[in-house]
Amino acid sequence: MSLLEQLSIQHPIFLAPMAGVSTPELAAEVSNQGGLGSLGLGAASIQNARQQIVATQKLTDLPFQVNFFCHKPTELDSERNLNWINYLKPHFDNFNTEPPKELKCIYPSFLDNDDFLDLVLETRPKAVSFHFGIPHAHQIAALKEAGIITMVSATNLAEARAIEDAGIDIIIAQGIEAGGHRGIFNEHFDSAIKTADLIKLLVPTCKIPVVAAGGIMNGFQAKYMMNLGASAVQLGTAFVQCKSSAANAAYRNALLSKPLTQITSSISGRPARGIINSWSTLVDLPQRELVAPYPYAYDLGKQLNAAALTNKDESFGAFWAGSNVNQIRVLEAPDLINQIILEIDQYDA
């Protein structure tokens, strides 16, 4: 059975599940146009996640995926958190704001309990994907028994093998060009493999389908990845500019200014690729302190951005974007998918 048949979709195009940016409207637009829409629910509460899934199901009766974070729970390290607060304090001072005295674990992991699992089993989306790691064995078994397709991000061969050994259905091969958080299982080790090289590495080795993700902005790049053996491609940055995304005006303006990107862990505590701004130029200095662990650092990062915004400074936003963001096109999701399919067809013409 091909991946398209497995997922019951028309085109080998996945919308990347971007937490904070994806919406039911964007997910439905992609699904209704024959791709696989997505909801990034890693930052959502149970109630909000339910609302997003139900809203998407009202907008489309076609398949879509939901995505959760599988980071290993991090114990509170008050001293490390305090050092990071103190390091960023001068930036808070610049905005006449006091930093918090302690940081909170703002994002739970799918591994923490089965609340999100129960939600998925109840709402029955076509597929569920995971970032930062692999669910518990009993969680995978429950999803399989319910007939829900499982997918996990891999950034190197060792992760891909672990994913396959765990019984997951599909590998999302995330290259170093990808925008947003690196899917690395170990936050202290990143193989930093380019998307094309990762596809060349995984396809001959793995028996399950491999989806290429990272730096793909058009149909020519998509077809190139599929010619290397990818069963489909996943695009995120290309869709952030769509009116149906939740990106704010500052984010959209940054995307369209032909920017450069950089990977930093300063914003969230985990490496993530975004548009170069004050995080890169003012925070990521040679003398930078050890960043607070994820997601405690993200709590502080969001508070610093809020303080900056009250002073009309938009340079501390988390504007996640892939390395080819300068190739972004202003198209709504249905038109963008149509254009990508046209380019895929033209590739071999």
Whether 256 has a pLDDT exceeding 60, the answer reads yes
d(CA 9, CA 14): 10
Residues for the chain: how many in total? 349
- By C-alpha distance, which of 160, 101, 111 is closest to 135? 111
Do the domain assignments include residue 271?
no
165: domain CATH number is 3.20.20.70
Is 345 exposed, middle or buried, given 0-12, 13-18 or 19+ CB atoms closer than 10 A? exposed
Q: Give the pLDDT confidence score for residue 1 in this predicted structure.
A: 83
CA 72 to chain centre: 17
Q: What is the pLDDT of residues 131-165, one digit of tens each?
A: 999 999 999 999 999 999 999 999 999 999 999 99
pLDDT digits (tens, 9 = 90+) for 258-287: 789 999 999 999 999 999 999 999 999 999
Examine residue 290 and state whether it is found in any structural domain, yes or no. Answer: no
Residue 118 lies in a domain: yes
Is 123 within the bounds of a domain? Answer: yes
Q: Is residue 24 situated within a structural domain?
A: yes
Mean pLDDT within 201-220:
98
Question: Is residue 93 domain-resident?
Answer: no
The answer to whether position 159 is within a domain reads: yes
Percent of the chain with pLDDT over 90: 96
How many distinct structural domains can be found in the chain? 1
Q: Is the pLDDT of residue 85 over 90?
A: yes
* Omega of the bond leading into 334 within 30 degrees of 0 (cis): no
**Range of the structural domain that residue 49 is part of:** 3-71+107-247+329-347
Q: What is the mean pLDDT of residues 92-118?
A: 96
Cα radius of gyration rounded to whole Å, the chain: 19
Instruction: Please indicate, yes or no, if residue 128 is contained in any of the structural domains.
Output: yes
Please enumerate in sequence order all residues whose Cβ is within 8 A of that of 263, keeping only pairs 6 or more positions apart, or say none.
176, 182, 271, 272, 273
At 349 the pLDDT is 56
At 225-246, the pLDDT tens digits run: 999 999 999 999 999 999 999 9
